């Protein structure tokens, strides 16, 4: 097996007095695995322990609140001494596996809601967060002094709990960033106005931590190099700030980007180029002498390696890649690159759930967050398992069952893996989705799954093979409502269009403005077609994750795609679509109509196989939903057969 330990990734580095065995750092991500009082739960500890076993040089644990009123979600807390014990167990178990562990400490300021903290939020100025909306109360000077002291006290508790250091969260529009930026700080006292005044709050915090924790305690600082909002900070001022922070005694800078108003920059979706923040890190690195860490959809260790070789950063923070594959460093070290499961930037499990204040999950790693409950064990009674359907649910079921030691046969009636998920990778900016399908395909081949493509599974095959269990993962099929003319030759399905099974003429009307309709519209616009979307609801792409939706709507506008909302298609003929809008009937000229009107589950096979073998139905074959549910159900089906 090829060993890549010569890679710069595996060159140790010191941050202050803390020596890391390699350059890969788990960046802090809110998990909602702690209890409501900020205590570390077994779920939280095992989640981090799993990463430490995976070989990460350091883990930065997310958002330790310095005050219970400074939490945006159920983040961990070290605002009182009673919380030290549970987090001490966390640090001990992570250290035992060889990783360093750093507590990120924060106050979210206005980036919370009264629903989470039970009170009006506070901020530098009484300006609401443009996303969450609650109007904060402007902090008084004594209150500012109190929060400064809370940061120092929290850092000291982190030290007592065994953390190797703290990272002061000055990025992403949280309270420290609210003070630092002209975008959110409109104060006219000594904490507002000039850069010197806006920096007073973070500099006092660093001083307080240093005084309380001593000269040897590691202090890092996270900063948004560019806030990516009108009037927000840009890289030039960030460089000046970096120099001042270093002078104040920090040991490392972690260069990120964005605020809640530009969430796509904090947690960039698949539309954003991997490593897009690296050039900002390089700019910061030019003006400081302390280690600089970069972040931002660096989802491949080879990309991490090339950044280190370029000298643009000293450390690579990988958040979601560590969710997708906690063993990434060890696999890379052993040359098992094909086995690394890459984050695809879908946001389904780690962002959509988070913004519901629910524990995070991962679409490509269905065991994430369940490590404390489940361990995949080899079976002592191997069975013959048939899986029907090679979408994400079926592939994951086949992989898991084969890993457990069962003999698995996979039937798929088309000539390829992935189902709708593979089709979903075709529109512009969505190519990363295919990496998960190809990873699953490779894994099941390595595990010896018997793969039968181009084969429709029938009751006759079931009678002949007599499997012990049939897992039905037959997915969903497009809806086709009773509209006059819908069976015409000029009416096509979005899926067939994306798969290039059919081609459209020049003027296209897309029936349905959900995610599939919008992405198909973009795909056709990229081919030079004139496209109109007709949607019944007042807005489009409502089923799209919100960071991707922002970018999708922008793309639709930039591609001059016409959007007609609050409209119902009443009939279709050979050269037009008739719609009703505001009690008016309107004809829209169209050579081709593409249907994107949702999906319905396809589980007729279950009825055909009734009584022939024990059945398990999973994924969209139960009900059309997102792939996050499909892979989890696939995993559970593979475990429980």
> Which parts of this chain interact with ligand SF4 (CB under 6 A)?
320, 323-324, 343-350, 362-364
Decide whether 150 or 348 has the Cβ nearer to ligand SF4.
Answer: 348
Would you please indicate which residues are annotated as catalytic (active-site) residues?
174
- Could you write out the three-class secondary structure of 583-602? CEEEEEECCEEEECCCEEEC
Query: Which residues share a beta bridge with 477?
Result: 600
Strands (E), 150-192: 165-170
> Residue 483 or 627: which CB sits closer to ligand SF4?
627
CB of 269 to ligand SF4, least distance (A): 7
Q: Least distance to ligand SF4 from the beta carbon of 276, Å?
A: 15
In the complex with ligand SF4, the residue whose CB is nearer, 326 or 394, is 326
* DSSP type of residue 194: S
Nearest approach, Cβ of residue 348 and ligand SF4 (Å) = 5
- Residue 259: helix, strand or coil by DSSP? coil
Q: How far is CA 508 from CA 482, 504, 562, 588, 590, in A?
A: 20, 7, 10, 10, 5
Nearer CB in complex with ligand SF4: 56/191: 56
Nearer to ligand SF4, 109 or 321 (CB): 321
| Closer of 365 and 532 to ligand SF4 (Cβ) | 365
State the nearest-atom distance from the C-beta of 323 to ligand SF4, in Å. 4
Rounding to the nearest 10 degrees, give the CA dihedral for residues 50, 56, 62, 66: 110
Based on DSSP, count helices (H) and strands (E) in the chain, helices before strands. 22, 27
Helical segments of 32-140, H only: 42-53, 84-96, 114-117
Q: Which is nearer to ligand SF4, 91 or 299 (CB)?
A: 299
Q: What's the min distance (Å) between Cβ of 354 and ligand SF4?
A: 10
How many residues are recorded in the chain? 641
- CA–CA dist 114, 65 (Å, integer): 16
Is residue 442 within 8 A of residue 336, CB to CB? The reply is no
Contacts of 624 (CB under 8 A, 6+ apart): 476, 598, 599, 600, 601
Least distance between ligand SF4 and beta carbon 544 (Å): 14
- Residue 47 CB, shortest distance to ligand SF4, in Å, is 13
Classify burial at 607, counting beta carbons within 10 Å of its beta carbon; exposed 0-12, middle 13-18, buried 19 or more: exposed
Kindly write down the DSSP assignment for every residue of 269-307, as one continuous string: -TTSPTTTTHHHHHHHHTT-SS-EEE-SS---HHHHHHH
Tell me the sheet residues that pair with 622.
Answer: none
Report the 3 state secondary structure along 99-125.
Answer: CEEEEEEECCCCCCCHHHHCCCCEECC
């Amino acid at each position: 097996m090829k060993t890549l330990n010569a890679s710069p990734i595996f060159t140790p580095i010191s941050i202050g007095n803390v020596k890391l065995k390699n350059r890969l750092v788990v960046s802090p991500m809110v998990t909602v695995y702690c209890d409501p009082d900020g205590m570390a739960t077994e779920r939280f500890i095992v989640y981090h322990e799993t990463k430490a076993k995976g070989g990460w040089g350091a883990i930065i644990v997310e958002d330790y609140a310095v005050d219970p009123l400074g939490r945006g979600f159920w983040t961990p807390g070290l605002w009182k001494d009673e919380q030290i014990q549970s987090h001490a167990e966390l640090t001990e178990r992570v250290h035992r596996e060889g990783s360093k562990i750093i507590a990120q400490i924060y106050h979210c300021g206005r980036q919370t809601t009264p629903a989470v903290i039970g009170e009006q939020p506070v901020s530098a100025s009484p300006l609401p967060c443009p996303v969450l909306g609650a109007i904060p109360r402007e902090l008084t000077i004594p209150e500012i002094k109190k929060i400064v002291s809370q940061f120092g006290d929290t850092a000291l508790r982190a030290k007592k709990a065994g953390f190797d250091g703290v990272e002061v969260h000055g990025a992403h529009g949280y309270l420290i960033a609210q003070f630092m930026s002209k975008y959110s700080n409109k104060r006219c006292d000594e904490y507002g106005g000039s850069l010197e005044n806006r920096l007073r709050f973070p500099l006092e915090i660093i001083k307080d931590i240093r005084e309380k924790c001593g000269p040897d305690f590691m202090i890092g600082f996270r900063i948004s190099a560019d806030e990516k909002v009108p009037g927000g900070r840009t890289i030039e001022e960030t460089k000046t700030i970096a120099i001042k922070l270093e002078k104040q005694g920090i040991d490392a800078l972690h260069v990120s980007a964005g605020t809640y108003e530009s969430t796509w920059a904090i947690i960039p979706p698949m539309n954003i180029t991997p490593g897009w923040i690296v050039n900002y890190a390089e700019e910061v690195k030019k003006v400081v002498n302390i280690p600089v860490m970069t972040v931002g959809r660096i989802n491949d260790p080879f990309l991490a390696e090339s950044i280190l070789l370029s000298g643009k950063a000293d450390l690579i923070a990988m958040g979601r890649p560590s969710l997708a594959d906690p063993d990434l460093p060890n696999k890379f070290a052993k040359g098992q690159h094909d086995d690394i499961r890459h984050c695809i930037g879908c946001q389904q499990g780690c962002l959509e759930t988070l913004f519901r204040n629910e524990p995070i999950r991962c679409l490509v790693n269905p065991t994430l967050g369940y490590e404390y409950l489940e361990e995949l064990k080899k079976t002592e009674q191997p069975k013959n398992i048939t899986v029907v359907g090679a979408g994400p649910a079926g592939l994951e079921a086949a992989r898991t069952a084969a890993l457990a030691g069962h003999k698995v046969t996979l039937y798929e009636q088309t000539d390829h893996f992935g189902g709708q998920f593979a089709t979903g990778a075709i529109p512009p900016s969505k190519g990363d989705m295919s990496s998960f399908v190809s990873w699953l395909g490779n894994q099941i081949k390595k595990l010896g799954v018997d793969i039968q493509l181009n084969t429709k599974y029938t009751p006759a095959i079931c009678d002949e093979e007599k499997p012990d269990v049939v897992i039905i993962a037959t997915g969903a099929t497009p809806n086709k409502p009773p509209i006059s003319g819908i069976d015409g030759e000029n009416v096509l399905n979005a899926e067939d269009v994306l798969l290039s099974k059919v081609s459209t003429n020049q003027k296209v009307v897309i029936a349905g403005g959900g995610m599939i309709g919008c992405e198909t519209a973009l795909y056709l616009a990229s081919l030079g077609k004139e496209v109109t979307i007709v949607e019944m609801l007042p807005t489009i792409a409502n089923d799209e994750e919100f960071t991707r939706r922002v970018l999708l709507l922008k793309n639709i506008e930039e591609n001059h795609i016409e959007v007609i909302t609050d409209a119902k298609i009443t009939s279709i003929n050979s050269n037009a679509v008739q719609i009703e809008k505001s009690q008016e009937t309107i004809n829209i000229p169209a050579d081709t109509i593409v249907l994107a009107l949702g999906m319905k589950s396809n589980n007729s096979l279950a009825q055909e196989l009734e009584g022939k073998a024990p059945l398990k139905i999973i994924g969209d074959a139960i009900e059309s939903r997102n792939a996050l549910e499909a892979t989890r159900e696939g995993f559970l089906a593979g475990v429980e057969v």
